[in-house]
Amino acid sequence: MDLRLVIHKSLTLVIAVVLSILPVAAIVLVMFWPPLSYHLDPHELIPMVAAVFAVTILVTPIRREAERFLDKYLYRAQADFKRTVREASELLTRVLDLRTVVRFVSDTIARSTEAEGIAVYLIGDSGWEVALSERRHEGAKFQALMTAPPSIVDWLKNNRRYLIQDEPVARRDFKADTSLQDALSRLDWGLVLPLLSEATLIGFIAVGPKRSGDPFYPHDLDLLMTLANQAGIAVKNAQLYTEVVLANEYVENIVATIESGVVAVNPAGRVTMFNRAAERLTALRAEAIRSESVSGLPEVLGTLLRTTLKDGQARTAPEIALHAGSTTRPVICTTSPLRDPGGAILGAVAVFSDLTPLKELEAERQRVERLAYFEVLASSIAHEIKNPVVAIKTFTQLIPRRLHDHAFLENFSRVVSREIERMERLVERFRRLSRPASPTQHRLDVRQPLSEAVEFLKPAFEEKGLTLRVTPTPVACFVLGDEGELESLFINLLMNAHEATPRGGSVELELTASERAVVVEVADSGPGIPPERLRQLFDPFFTTKARGSGLGLTISAGIAARHRAKLRASNRPAGGALFTVEFPAATTVEATTTRVNTGG
486, 563 in Cβ contact below 8 A? yes
- Continuous H helices in 210-312: 218-257, 276-282, 286-289, 299-311
Among residues 130, 90, 88, the alpha carbon closest in space to that of 112 is found at: 88
Query: Count of alpha carbons within 13 Å of 10, Cβ hemisphere only?
Result: 0
Distance (Å) of CA 521 to CA 92, 485, 553, 587: 80, 17, 15, 21
- Cα angle value 511/484/593 (rounded, 5°): 75
What percent of the chain stands above pLDDT 70?
Answer: 77
User: Does pLDDT of 168 surpass 60?
Assistant: no
Residue 554 vs residues 187, 493, 515: alpha-carbon distances, Å: 90, 11, 29
CB 328 within 8 A of CB 321: yes
The full DSSP string for 300-363 is HHHHHHHHHHHH---EEEEEEEEEETTEEEEEEEEEEEEE-TT--EEEEEEEEEE-HHHHHHHH
Compute the average pLDDT of residues 143-170.
83
Query: Rounded mean pLDDT of the chain?
Result: 79
HSE-up (13 A, CA, CB side) for residue 585: 13
pLDDT > 90? residue 519: yes
Q: How many CB atoms lie within 10 A of CB 106?
A: 22
* Residue 330 reports pLDDT greater than 50: yes
- CA 222 to CA 477: how far, in whole Å? 94
DSSP code of residue 534: G
380-395 average pLDDT score: 68
Long-range contacts of 324-328 (CB under 8 A, 24+ apart): 324/281, 324/282, 324/283, 324/284, 324/298, 325/283, 327/283
**E strand map for 174-214:** 191-197, 200-207
Angle, to 10 degrees, between the axis of helix 406-433 and the axis of helix 552-562? Answer: 30
Q: Mean pLDDT over residues 557-572, rounded?
A: 86
Across 36-50, 283-297, 372-386, 428-442, least confident range: 428-442
| Average pLDDT, integer, range 227-248 | 88
Whether 24 contacts 32, CB under 8 Å: no
Q: pLDDT grade, residue 38 (50/70/90)? A: low
Torsion 246-252-255-258 (CA) sign: negative
Q: Which residue has the higher pLDDT, 240 or 248?
A: 240
- The stretch 54-71 carries a mean pLDDT of 68
DSSP string covering 402-467: STT-HHHHHHHHHHHHHHHHHHHHHHHHHHHHS-PPPPP-EEEETHHHHHHHHHHHHHHHHHHT-E
State pTM to two decimals.
Answer: 0.46
Q: Which of 2-11, 499-508, 546-555 has the highest mean pLDDT?
A: 499-508
More confident residue, 75 or 115: 115
Closest-CA residue to 191 (of 118, 289, 85): 118
Whole-number pLDDT of residue 122? 93
- 267 or 29, which is more confident? 267
Average pLDDT over residues 358-387: 71
Is residue 584's pLDDT more than 70? yes
Residue pair 126/267 in contact (Cβ under 8 Å)? The answer is no
Residue 303 has pLDDT above 60, yes or no: yes
Q: Which of 532, 531, 558, 554 is nearest to 541 (CA)?
A: 554
What is the reported pLDDT for 551?
61
Q: In 10 A of CB 588, how many CB atoms?
A: 7
**98-113 and 81-92 helices, crossing angle to 10°:** 170
Query: Is residue 583 very low, low, confident or very high in pLDDT (cuts 50, 70, 90)?
Result: very high
- Report the greatest alpha carbon distance in the chain: 186
Q: Give the pLDDT band of residue 172 (cuts 50, 70, 90).
A: very low
Can you give the length of the chain in residues?
A: 600
Residues 6+ apart with CB under 8 A from 52: 24, 28
pLDDT band at 57 (very low <50, low <70, confident <90, very high): confident
Give me the half-sphere count of Cα atoms (radius 13 Å) on the Cβ side of residue 490.
28
